[in-house]
Amino acid sequence: MTTPVINLTKSQSDSPLPTSTTTTSTITTTTTLPPPPPQSTTDPILVRRISELEQHIADLIQNNLALEERLDIHRSRLYKLENLNIPHRVSKSVDKIVNDAVDWAMQAPLRARFRDLPTVYIKEILQQRMFEDNTYKTHEVHNDLYESLQKSVGLDYSNQHLVDKEKAYKKK
């Protein structure tokens, strides 16, 4: 290989023109290339499996698109259902049912104890407890209940008095 070399140094004569010299050099480079890859022999089982997987992926994409379309159709209904707050309502209903059942179970022994008493006596017991504890003074509703209870007891006694009077009149 031959390359021209130009000397750009100043000559002895101070001439502005450069002098040129030609030099010849030979470089030999040896490179070993890797052997060419063997002819592609693909495994038919691998090719079949890859095509099955590609088909499966295509089916999944189609299913996903169908589900998204269905979701778009029902999105407003879903939004309404989410806003109904059904779990909270169910929880409240269950709590109410459980509370009612517990209240009933706790009141059963009292009912059994007072079953034989006339209602007038039960009303008197309740009125006496409310009076002793002053619970009727805590709320206006309780106070109204206490006053109604007093009137009811008074009415019961007057009815009882009339019944007793009638019995006494019939005996004569």
Model confidence pLDDT, tens digit, residues 68-108: 998 888 887 777 777 777 778 888 888 888 888 888 888 88
* DSSP helix/strand/coil, 17: coil
Residue 29: pLDDT band (50, 70, 90) is low
Tokens describing residue 44: 């038919």
Q: Is the pLDDT of residue 3 over 80?
A: no
**pLDDT tens digits for range 98-138:** 888 888 888 888 778 777 888 888 888 888 888 888 878 88
Half-sphere exposure of 121 (CA within 13 A, CB side): 6
Mean pLDDT of 9-37: 59
Q: Hey, how many other C-beta atoms are within 10 angstroms of the C-beta on 135?
A: 14
pLDDT (average), residues 23-51:
71
Give the max Cα distance, the chain. Answer: 174
Output the six-digit token pair for 132: 């002793």
> Over 90: is that where the pLDDT of 167 sits?
no
Q: How far is the C-alpha of 53 from the C-alpha of 2, rounded, in Å?
A: 60
Beta bridge partners of 6: 20
Give the model's pLDDT for residue 56.
Answer: 95
What are the residue ranges spanned by the domains of the chain?
Answer: 45-84, 85-115, 117-163
Q: Is the pLDDT of residue 1 over 60?
A: no
Q: What is the pLDDT of residue 15?
A: 53
Kind of pairing between the strands at 2-7 and 19-24? antiparallel
